[in-house]
Amino acid sequence: MSGLRQIATEPDSLDSKAQDAAKMERSPRLRHHTKSHSERISDSELSTETNSLSAESNNDNGRSPVKSTPSGLDLHQVKSKQRRRGAEWEIIDSFKGLQTVDQVPNKLEGVLLKKRKWPLKGWHKRYFILEKGSLMYAKRSADLARGKPHGSVDLGLSVISAKRRRCRIDIDAEVFIYHIKVKSREEFARWLEALKEHRQFRQQQLHSRDSAQKMVASPVLSPGSRDEMSPTGVGGLHVSSSFGTAESLMPISREGSLMRSLKPSRANMLLSESSAALEQLNNDIVSAQERLIHLVKCAGAWSHSSDTQSTTGNISPATKKDRKKFVLRRKKNKSNTSTNSAEPPASASMSESESANINNVALNDKHSPLSCSIPSLSPSMNGSSVATEMLAPPTSESNMLSPADPGHDFLNGAQDLIGRLTTCLRTLNHERERLKLVIETATETSSISSRNGATLQRDAGVAVPSMVASLRCALHVAIQQNNELRARLQKIRSEAEVAIEGPNLTMSLELDLNASARLGHHSLSYSSSCVSQSEFFDAKEYLTDVAVSDSSSDASETEMEGENEAEEEGSVSEASEMGNEASNDPESPEPVVKCTTGRRTKLPTPKPSTEDLSLWNLMKRNIGKDLSKVSMPVVLNEPIGMLQRLSEELEYSELLDKASETEDPYERMVLIAAFAVSAYGSSHVRAGHKPFNPLLGETYECVREDKGFKYIGEQVSHHPPISACYASSDNFEFWQDIRIKTKFWGKSMEFQPLGTVNVRLPKHEDHYRWNKVTTCVHNLFGGQRWVDQYGDLIITNNKGIRCKLNFAKASYWSSNRYEVVGSVTDPNGKLVHHLFGKWSEGLYCGVAPSARCVWRPGALPEDHEHYYGFSRFAIELNDLESCLVDILPSTDSRFRPDQRLLEEGNVPGAEASKLQLEQAQRERRIANEERGIKHEPRWFRCTTSDLDDGEGEKWEFAHNYWDARAQSKFRDMNLVRLW
């Protein structure tokens, strides 16, 4: 562990290493695609785009002689251009706890250009207001004045970076990343300065509140104490001050709190994470509350209008007309600042107390049905005018008194609220689990320490039992909140009469593990514990029975009947379940349990802790830089490489077998779509780690007799890193090449895989092709890291059938996280099938509730969180079976020593080995360059394709690997010595 500590506690050495690396020369062998890629960079104007998923193997280059690029550009020029590009982005400093921002910074407003949200391109004008540490925008200033912002950002919790030359400002606000352009340099400077001030102001506010709280167990929303906690009276609901970096979360322990005793324990890390997650939750609740207030107002207006109606009797058309006029007049008057009790001033120019009063009036409105129907909300709202004001921009009277259609507005609002509360609920559930874990850890620690006779109390001056008690208390409150939110959600749902039916929802929410286990039992190959959360719980299971018959018939067709016959359905997911059972048994003394496939069911050691690692320290100076110049610590890796990770896309190869057996071409497309979605099935539990970047020439084979396919992958290019792979079985061929562009935004990282996936079904002469969607890892430095995937995945085939799948980008305002919606159309574009689901939970065909389930991910081993989130399939990938040792080529990933060391839990060893391998790769490259040798991949060939997407190079399998293997030729082949 000492090695890890060293790395973790000396981020500067890493940084300087990264900088050194950045100073080195880049490979002179700039390839055609590198060039086209960099062209793309300038097109897209994004902060950072690299070709490398990870940094490690790219920081080779070093002392290479200066040569000319194909374009005749001196490499120094290319390099310095790149360096300049990276240096252009600067990141705005965070609050250090030293400065004090005494005054509320001045408000700033005006029109800026905002990059359109995906998938639209271009920039549009939006009106922005920067006030009290929060930035809000809308289409028109009037929308903001009416309290209808399109979006709002808490600057204290965001990372801001700026590019002066282009007058660009990027704000990474967790769920959304805002790209802003300012029209002139003067304005840019003004906005940047103001953003800095507001951000510091807000962070200081958060910080002082955090210092006031000090207690670990206090991340609890206590409506009563909110005002005291918020001396400045702004955004009073925030529970923690941390700025969302792992480092800044530490103050909890640094400030002499109870947690000091556990440092550097797992509990500490968990709590740090929890703190940030609760902070997020807090924001969510505030925004939900804001919505509720809006609803109350809607309802108030509604009842007000019906009151008026009932007192005045039926309204004549003339009166209606008058009222309309009145509304219009009022809207016009909004730009006036005259204070008239009937027409209060527009909120934009309203004083704090005035707007607060209006809020309170609205909240205390006796006519408001909602304030009575949700009693628990009333007290909190009374005290929350301040909070509302901050996150919900001041609401104007027009909103309260004259909504165009109160009923419609109410329904919309209610639906919106449901989305937000669902998100809160999810976070709360997660936090509850985490707190449980903390308690377990703490209890363990305390029992160990008392057993050793050394009390933690004496060591650290803190009583562990009291900490456990306070954690228990926190857990208790979290559970209570959870229940309360559940009740509210339930009530709101029934009141809002939304399409989703109550009983089903309750069932799906309440579904326990047993139930999902039962489900799993039914669906055999596609069992899932995640199903419990699915709204499509009631959907018919489609593949259930077929999976059984298919796989048995597969088994008889493949060479390894013996193995399969024994086990019921013979599919790997089946094995997964067996494996789970084995690994679920905590008593199991056997470190390596083999299943029917003969492979292990558990990794040798759990993932190492990353608690000492300050990723932020490592990355903060690299916003806008080429991440390939940053060597990432090995603890960020999972113990498999990218070639292995790509083979995971075949985990559900049964879908391809099934497609091959299906006569209806549209049905085949549905199955192919399910297969394409299944590639993402495990990513939501894998956000914490990235695969190793394969070394140039590294290979990986995966022979799955049980599934009937064999797979081979090779790293075919290093600059940029490109992995190519090919798999075949009796029923299908599958191949792809992939290179990943990485963009780092400050708090999140985006990965855009380039390349095409291909599947051929020889029986039908079908050839399917599709692209990959974008993967984004949020919350890199604190809180819960989570993965989002978004974009359109379009599958075409040679018969003119098309399938479009849209992966929704998670949004604050709805519960659409992980959602996929799509359609299969015929050659005339006519809809044939409707698809929907979640990439993390399953894909359904048809229309709910009668939709059928086409795919569901297999159950994960119970303790997967401690083992990198690996499924059984993933656990098996790096298993070096003894029978393979003499068969595999020496370049196979299973022989890669750093990966193996990490798998065994030897982090310092893995780190050292990784550096050594990277250095050796650098030397090989330089030596090759000196001798004018160009690397030629061994098993794949580069072809320039004339196919549509214009991506240029394609990598084709040379069909020579399996023969060479069968003839034991690897030994004589003089394969490159990678390790």
Ligand X SMILES: CC(C)CCC[C@@H](C)[C@H]1CC[C@H]2[C@@H]3CC=C4C[C@@H](O)CC[C@]4(C)[C@H]3CC[C@]12C
Binding site for ligand X (CB under 6 A): 53, 636, 645, 649, 679-680, 683, 686-691, 740, 749, 751, 753, 772, 775, 777, 780, 787
CB 783 within 8 A of CB 768: no
For the sheet with 151-154, list strands across it. Answer: 89-91, 159-163, 168-173, 176-181, 108-115, 123-131, 134-138, 151-154
Closest approach of Cβ 380 to ligand X, in Å?
A: 37
Closest approach of Cβ 772 to ligand X, in Å?
A: 5
Q: Report the candidate in 515, 546, 544 with the shortest Cα–Cα distance to residue 531.
A: 515
Q: Report the candidate in 357, 372, 384, 363 with the shortest Cα–Cα distance to residue 222.
A: 384
Listed in sequence order, the residues at least 6 apart from 976 whose beta carbon sits closer than 8 Å to its beta carbon are 696, 697, 891, 924
Listed in sequence order, the residues at least 6 apart from 555 whose beta carbon sits closer than 8 Å to its beta carbon are 561, 564, 565, 570, 706
**Shortest Cβ contact with ligand X: which residue?**
690
Strands of 251-363, DSSP E: none
Of 402 and 614, nearer to ligand X (C-beta) is 614
**Which tokens belong to 699?**
């290979």
Q: Report the candidate in 23, 45, 27 with the shortest Cα–Cα distance to residue 35.
A: 27
Of 108 and 773, nearer to ligand X (C-beta) is 773
CB 724 within 8 A of CB 955: yes
Q: Report the candidate in 91, 79, 155 with the shortest Cα–Cα distance to residue 622.
A: 91
Closest approach of Cβ 632 to ligand X, in Å?
A: 7
**600: which DSSP letter?**
B
Closest approach of Cβ 210 to ligand X, in Å?
A: 26
CB 732 within 8 A of CB 761: yes
Of 636 and 964, nearer to ligand X (C-beta) is 636
Of 247 and 649, nearer to ligand X (C-beta) is 649
Of 640 and 669, nearer to ligand X (C-beta) is 640
- Strands 819-825, 168-173: pairing is unpaired
Closest approach of Cβ 44 to ligand X, in Å?
A: 18
Closest approach of Cβ 731 to ligand X, in Å?
A: 21
CB atoms within 10 A of CB 608: 16
Closest approach of Cβ 690 to ligand X, in Å?
A: 4
Closest approach of Cβ 787 to ligand X, in Å?
A: 6
Of 541 and 649, nearer to ligand X (C-beta) is 649
**892: which DSSP letter?**
B
Closest approach of Cβ 696 to ligand X, in Å?
A: 19
Of 218 and 693, nearer to ligand X (C-beta) is 693
Closest approach of Cβ 283 to ligand X, in Å?
A: 23
| Cα Rg, the chain, nearest whole Å | 29
Burial pattern 180-212, b for ≥16 Cβ within 10 A else e, equals: bbbeeeeebeebbebbbbbbbbbbbbbbbbbee
Helices (H), 168-265: 185-213, 226-229, 246-249, 251-254
CB 671 within 8 A of CB 854: yes
Of 772 and 900, nearer to ligand X (C-beta) is 772
d(CA 466, CA 262): 13
207 residue type, one letter: H
Of 167 and 246, nearer to ligand X (C-beta) is 246
Of 64 and 752, nearer to ligand X (C-beta) is 752
What's the maximum distance between 2 C-alpha atoms anywhere in the chain?
A: 98
Closest approach of Cβ 569 to ligand X, in Å?
A: 26
Distance linking the first and last C-alpha atoms of the chain: 23
d(CA 344, CA 396): 8
DSSP SS3 for 727: strand
Closest approach of Cβ 54 to ligand X, in Å?
A: 8
Closest approach of Cβ 688 to ligand X, in Å?
A: 6
Closest approach of Cβ 645 to ligand X, in Å?
A: 5
Of 547 and 787, nearer to ligand X (C-beta) is 787
Closest approach of Cβ 643 to ligand X, in Å?
A: 11
Provide φ and ψ at 447, rounded to 5°.
Answer: -70, -35
DSSP SS3 for 840: coil
Of 239 and 860, nearer to ligand X (C-beta) is 860
Of 389 and 638, nearer to ligand X (C-beta) is 638
Of 423 and 771, nearer to ligand X (C-beta) is 771
Of 422 and 717, nearer to ligand X (C-beta) is 717
d(CA 930, CA 679): 41
Q: Report the candidate in 859, 576, 556 with the shortest Cα–Cα distance to residue 708.
A: 556
d(CA 961, CA 970): 9
